[in-house]
């Protein structure tokens, strides 16, 4: 007999939090716009690797499409051939797929170069754009400044016929880079500098990663973006706050061009994360100047770096859904990200024992040569993960920080004469401390209580501390890379005038454990697997550097550590 499922019994579907963009879309839908369609796009420029800030945008754009039963395109905004590369195009697609999203159409702004060119001729013909012969410096001088209106270009009143001829000759390659531009004729005294006759096309004799040498004039972002949106029938063009001031121009083009659709631009605040930088320029600099091993260095906030660090797409999506979407500029605490991966990995990561900073102990009343195979749970959160056997022998490794000769108050771990439980095994008591000539502890001699393998002590004495261990005879060593914040300061972008932002780099962001001792089952760990090293942290088997039988571990994040907090508080 099965219990009939009642509505109460089935867990409610997770409701993603609403935000202001939903309000806007709902209003558009209610007003009957776009035939009830919702279509978005994620429009990266292929000039760098995607980072976690892009993840927010990806989750937003694809998430909106999912929520409203619409579609989301992936569009490469490739209008500047001097900065864009195929390598970036490839990595971006990989990252979006990895995050778990499937685009409807894969497009490139360059797919629309011919249409954009004709749009430009249309503006010229209608007297709304002209060819300007001013140099770059002159253009910016004529533009005025934030508080001073601009002056009209002397070429502003060229006839449409003359401009059209010049524009065609620009395309034909008759002029050198920078010799002329196509400019919109809008308003040189507008308080919005974007409307002061913005440049639409510039001459660039450059190789483009897709169109090769086909073009020597390229549209500017403003002239390309909205029109591409319209050509793709995008309904809602979501972008970050710094484009807000471009919106009047975005709309001006759509109003003055023969486009069928009129998408709407909506801006939101980009993600900022503490203890890292999130600008492509700075990330590129870190890569180029070798402060990190590459775009996929596990300390990088890039999606490829975060992936190699051991973050899961599920945890990233949960993070992005949880932080909200608004128009306030703010910085998310790194701890929120860490919380999202801990929450995910706690449920799925297999447990194992690994001693990162080993200290040798000898159980003097445990027979030499004897091996006891002890059963250990693979994941207490998931019974289906089963159990495994771990070898216990007379000589073991324990964590050096799990022993203190002079234990502070509330220290539950090993110290002379004190008893602790070895996880899954027996309770031991420290009988003797061996040291080298300079006073460093080299070995502990302990005894074990054979009656304590399962359950408590027989005489009722309490053993509060539990520590992890590895059989010295069976342990193996493997590279274990311990990562920390890339920057020591919480807001690495906030540096005083004249100070290099890179001076905030954390010198301890990567520490390789010198002689970690791992339990034997870990030898067969495969690239891409997640583990929790009990009492230590979550670790990821690096798919890039690991080989069969020779895994390389990356610390994704530490476990929450109540003792560390107590210690820290005691210090100061």
Partner RNA sequence: UACCCCGUGGUGUAACGGUAGCACAAGAGGUUCUGGUCCUCUUAGUCAAGGUUCGAAUCCUUGCGGGGUAACCA
Collapsing DSSP states into helix, strand and coil, what is residue 466? strand
Collapsing DSSP states into helix, strand and coil, what is residue 512? strand
| Residue 421 binds RNA, judged by CB under 7 A | yes
Catalytic, 502? Answer no
| Residue 331 binds RNA, judged by CB under 7 A | yes
Q: 275 or 297: whose CB is closer to RNA?
A: 275
Cα 177 to Cα 165: distance, rounded to the nearest angstrom: 18
| Residue 566 binds RNA, judged by CB under 7 A | yes
Contacts 24+ apart (CB under 8 A), 158-162: 158/130, 158/131, 160/124, 160/125, 160/126, 160/127, 160/130, 162/131
- Residues in 363-392 that interact with RNA by CB under 7 A: 379-381
Please give the sequence-ordered ranges of beta strands (E in DSSP) within 151-251, or none if there are none. 181-184, 199-203, 217-219, 236-240
DSSP 239: E
| Residue 424 binds RNA, judged by CB under 7 A | yes
| Residue 307 binds RNA, judged by CB under 7 A | no
Token duo for residue 132: 């300007």
| Residue 547 binds RNA, judged by CB under 7 A | no
Q: 114 or 242: whose CB is closer to RNA?
A: 242
- Residues in 431-460 that interact with RNA by CB under 7 A: 452-455
> Please, are residues 124 and 167 in contact by the beta-carbon 8 Å criterion?
yes
Min dist. Cβ of residue 535 to RNA (A): 5
| Residue 335 binds RNA, judged by CB under 7 A | yes
- Residues in 190-229 that interact with RNA by CB under 7 A: 191-194, 198-199, 202-204, 218-222, 224-225
Q: 317 or 546: whose CB is closer to RNA?
A: 317
Token duo for residue 267: 């801006």
Q: 322 or 527: whose CB is closer to RNA?
A: 322
| Residue 244 binds RNA, judged by CB under 7 A | yes
Q: 161 or 336: whose CB is closer to RNA?
A: 336
Q: 52 or 510: whose CB is closer to RNA?
A: 52
| Residue 245 binds RNA, judged by CB under 7 A | yes
Min dist. Cβ of residue 267 to RNA (A): 8
- Residues in 90-149 that interact with RNA by CB under 7 A: 134-136, 139-140, 143-147
Min dist. Cβ of residue 483 to RNA (A): 18
Cα 437 to Cα 256: distance, rounded to the nearest angstrom: 85
Active-site hit among 183, 185, 280, 517: 280
Give the range of 303-311, 316-324, 383-391, 499-507 binding RNA by CB under 7 A.
Answer: 316-324
- Residues in 246-305 that interact with RNA by CB under 7 A: 246, 269
For 242, other C-beta atoms within 10 Å of its C-beta total 10
Of residues 71, 158, 351, 555, which one binds RNA by CB under 7 A? 351
- Residues in 486-515 that interact with RNA by CB under 7 A: none
| Residue 399 binds RNA, judged by CB under 7 A | no
Catalytic, 409? Answer no
Q: How many residues bind RNA (CB under 7 A)?
A: 97
Min dist. Cβ of residue 80 to RNA (A): 4
Of residues 170, 323, 361, 513, which one binds RNA by CB under 7 A? 323
Min dist. Cβ of residue 544 to RNA (A): 27
DSSP 521: G
Min dist. Cβ of residue 34 to RNA (A): 20
| Residue 466 binds RNA, judged by CB under 7 A | yes
DSSP 536: T
Min dist. Cβ of residue 196 to RNA (A): 8
Token duo for residue 321: 């859904």
| Residue 413 binds RNA, judged by CB under 7 A | yes
Catalytic, 45? Answer yes
Min dist. Cβ of residue 357 to RNA (A): 15
Contacts 24+ apart (CB under 8 A), 243-252: 243/267, 245/192, 245/194, 246/194, 246/222, 248/192, 248/194, 248/195, 249/184, 249/186, 249/192, 249/194, 249/195, 249/198, 249/222, 250/222, 250/225, 250/226, 251/226, 252/184, 252/186, 252/195
- Residues in 514-533 that interact with RNA by CB under 7 A: 532
Min dist. Cβ of residue 550 to RNA (A): 25
Token duo for residue 257: 């061009």
Measure CA 310 to chain center. Answer: 11
Token duo for residue 35: 């035939």
Of residues 36, 173, 330, 508, which one binds RNA by CB under 7 A? 330
Select from 570, 469, 555, 474 the least CA-distant residue to 508. Answer: 555
DSSP 429: E
β-bridge partners, 392: 372
Of residues 262, 423, 431, 491, which one binds RNA by CB under 7 A? 423
For the chain, give the number of residues: 572
Min dist. Cβ of residue 437 to RNA (A): 29
> Please, are residues 348 and 530 in contact by the beta-carbon 8 Å criterion?
yes
* Positive/negative CA dihedral, 343, 344, 346, 351: negative
> Please, are residues 236 and 264 in contact by the beta-carbon 8 Å criterion?
yes
> Please, are residues 425 and 394 in contact by the beta-carbon 8 Å criterion?
no
Active-site hit among 270, 388, 431, 502: 270
Active-site hit among 33, 37, 45, 502: 45
Give the range of 110-118, 288-296, 328-336, 361-369 binding RNA by CB under 7 A.
Answer: 328-336
As annotated, the active-site residues are 45, 270, 280
């Amino acid at each position: 007999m099965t219990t009939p499922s009642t509505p109460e019994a089935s867990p409610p579907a997770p409701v993603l939090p609403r935000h202001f963009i939903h309000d806007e879309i709902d209003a558009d839908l209610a007003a009957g716009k776009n035939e009830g369609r919702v279509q978005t796009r994620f429009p990266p420029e292929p000039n760098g690797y995607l980072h976690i800030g892009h993840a927010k945008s990806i989750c937003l754009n694809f998430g909106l499409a999912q929520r409203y039963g619409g579609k989301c395109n992936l569009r490469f905004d490739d209008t500047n051939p001097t900065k864009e590369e195929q390598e970036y195009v490839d990595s971006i697609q990989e990252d979006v797929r990895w995050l778990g999203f499937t685009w409807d159409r894969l497009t490139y702004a360059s797919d629309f170069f011919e249409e954009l060119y004709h749009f430009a001729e249309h503006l010229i013909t209608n007297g709304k754009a002209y060819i300007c012969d001013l140099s770059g410096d002159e253009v910016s001088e004529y533009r005025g400044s934030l508080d001073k209106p601009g002056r009209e270009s002397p070429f502003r009143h060229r006839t449409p016929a003359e401009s059209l001829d010049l524009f065609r000759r620009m395309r034909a390659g008759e002029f050198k880079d920078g010799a002329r531009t196509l400019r919109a004729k809008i308003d040189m005294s507008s308080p919005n500098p974007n409307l002061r006759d913005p440049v639409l096309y510039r001459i660039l004799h450059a190789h483009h990663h897709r169109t090769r040498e086909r073009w020597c004039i390229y549209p500017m972002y403003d002239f390309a973006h909205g029109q591409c949106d319209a050509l793709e029938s995008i309904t809602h063009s979501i972008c970050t706050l710094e484009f807000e001031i471009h919106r009047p121009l975005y709309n001006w083009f759509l109003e003055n061009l023969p486009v069928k659709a009129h998408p709407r631009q909506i801006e939101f605040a980009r993600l900022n994360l503490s203890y890292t930088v999130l600008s492509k320029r700075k990330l590129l600099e870190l890569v180029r100047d070798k402060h990190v091993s590459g775009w996929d260095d596990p300390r990088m906030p890039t999606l490829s770096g975060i992936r190699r660090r051991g973050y899961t797409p599920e945890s990233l999506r949960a993070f992005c859904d949880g932080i909200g979407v608004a128009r306030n500029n703010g910085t998310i605490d790194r701890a929120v990200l860490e919380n999202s991966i801990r929450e995910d990995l706690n449920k799925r990561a297999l447990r194992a024992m690994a001693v990162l900073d080993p200290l040798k102990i000898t159980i003097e009343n445990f027979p030499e040569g004897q091996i006891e195979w002890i059963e250990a749970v693979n994941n207490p959160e998931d019974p289906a993960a089963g159990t495994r056997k771990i070898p216990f022998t007379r000589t073991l490794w324990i964590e050096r920080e799990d022993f203190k000769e002079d234990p502070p108050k509330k220290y539950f771990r090993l110290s002379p004469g004190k008893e602790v439980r070895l996880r899954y095994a027996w309770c031991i008591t420290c009988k003797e401390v061996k040291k080298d000539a300079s006073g460093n502890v080299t070995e502990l001699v302990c005894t074990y209580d054979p009656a304590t393998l399962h359950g408590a002590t027989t005489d009722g004495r309490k053993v509060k501390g539990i520590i992890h261990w590895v059989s010295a005879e069976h342990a193996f060593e493997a590279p274990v890379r311990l990562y920390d914040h890339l920057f020591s300061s919480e807001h690495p972008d906030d540096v005083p005038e004249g100070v290099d932002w890179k001076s905030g780099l954390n010198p301890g962001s990567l520490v390789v454990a010198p002689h970690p001792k791992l339990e034997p089952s870990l030898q067969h760990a495969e690239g891409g697997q997640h583990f929790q090293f009990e009492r230590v942290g979550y670790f990821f088997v690096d798919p890039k550097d690991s080989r069969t039988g020779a895994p390389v571990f990356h610390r994704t994040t530490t476990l929450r550590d109540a003792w560390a907090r107590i210690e820290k508080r005691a210090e100061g």
